[in-house]
Amino acid sequence: MKINTIDYLKYIENVYEKLQNNREYVTNLDLATGDGDHWNNMNIGFGDLLKNSEKYKDLPMDQLFKNIGMTMMSKIGGSSGVLYGGAYLAAAKTLKGKEEFDLEDIYLALKTMVEDMKKRGKTEVGSKTMIDALNPAVEELEKHLNSKEEDLVKIFENVKNAAINGAESTKDMPAIRGRASYQKDKGIGHLDPGAVTMAYQIELLCDYILNNKIGK
Ligand code: ADP
Ligand code: MG
């Protein structure tokens, strides 16, 4: 199983589509816990990537990640731009020279991204942020790689569910990082918008692989 740049650009398109279908929902989550711009920030980033996908389609995966990182860093405002931008740039470095990503590379990319986000955002798991969706997905993938699990359907279904459950777990958390931490109620009772859009991305990456790469 390997994913290449064309696969990743199709996945980006799927994320963009999912964002279009959840504009109000995500905006309202950020209105409840932050300043209401999270959907718009993500939409600008993914919209720009999609608009320029012709320019990217012949790049190797590491260069694609570098370009995604630079786009996110420069186009997306707010915390998410810096966090996603930095994370993609860090993953591009870890996977330097890779034309395509195999299972181990996907793990390395996601692991590098979550570690970079933690460092940059001075955040750990349990702070009510996007890390609460990404970290459990990375841990789940790591667990399957360590146990030499070979059933890719099982792996990607579990990784996807780990991200979705992780996002869900932010509902009852008091925020330690992000704008919700400045609120009196620390956002308790509301899902973290960044965790929700992170779970969308993990879910769609897993679905792309499940639908297009396994048994094909
Ligand atoms: P801003 O908070 O600057 O308005 P966005 O609305 O685009 O930026 O993104 C908000 C999301 O960013 C939050 O829901 C949270 O998931 C994430 N976030 C904010 N600060 C941090 C941090 N220090 N570490 C990790 N994630 C963070
Ligand atoms: Mg915001």
Which ligand has its closest atom nearest to the C-alpha of 123? Answer: 1
Q: For the chain, how many helices (H) and strands (E)?
A: 10, 2
Is 43 in contact with 17 (CB distance < 8 Å)?
no
Q: What is the pLDDT of residue 78?
A: 86
Q: What CA–CA distance (Å, rounded) separates 16 from 168? A: 21
Tell me how far the alpha carbon of residue 153 lies from the centroid of ligand 1, in angstroms: 31
Q: At what angle do helices 61-75 and 78-94 cross, to 10 degrees?
A: 160
Cβ neighbours around 78 below 10 Å, total: 18
Q: What is the pLDDT of residues 15-60, one digit of tens each?
A: 999 999 999 999 999 999 999 999 999 999 999 999 999 999 999 9
Q: What is the pLDDT of residue 15?
A: 98
Q: What is the pLDDT of residue 184?
A: 85
- Token pair recorded at residue 58: 């012949």
- Ligand 1 binding pocket includes 14 (Cβ within 6 Å): no
- Ligand 1 binding pocket includes 190 (Cβ within 6 Å): no
- Token pair recorded at residue 195: 């965790």
pTM of the model: 0.98
Best probe residue, ligand 1, of 79, 122, 127, 171 (max atoms within 8 Å of C-beta): 79
Residues of the chain scoring pLDDT < 70: 216
Q: What CA–CA distance (Å, rounded) separates 30 from 106? A: 29
Q: What is the pLDDT of residue 129?
A: 97
Q: What CA–CA distance (Å, rounded) separates 14 from 187? A: 29
Tell me how far the alpha carbon of residue 213 lies from the centroid of ligand 1, in angstroms: 32
Q: What CA–CA distance (Å, rounded) separates 121 from 83? A: 7
Q: What is the pLDDT of residue 216?
A: 65
Best probe residue, ligand 1, of 129, 168, 171, 186 (max atoms within 8 Å of C-beta): 129
Tell me how far the alpha carbon of residue 80 lies from the centroid of ligand 1, in angstroms: 5
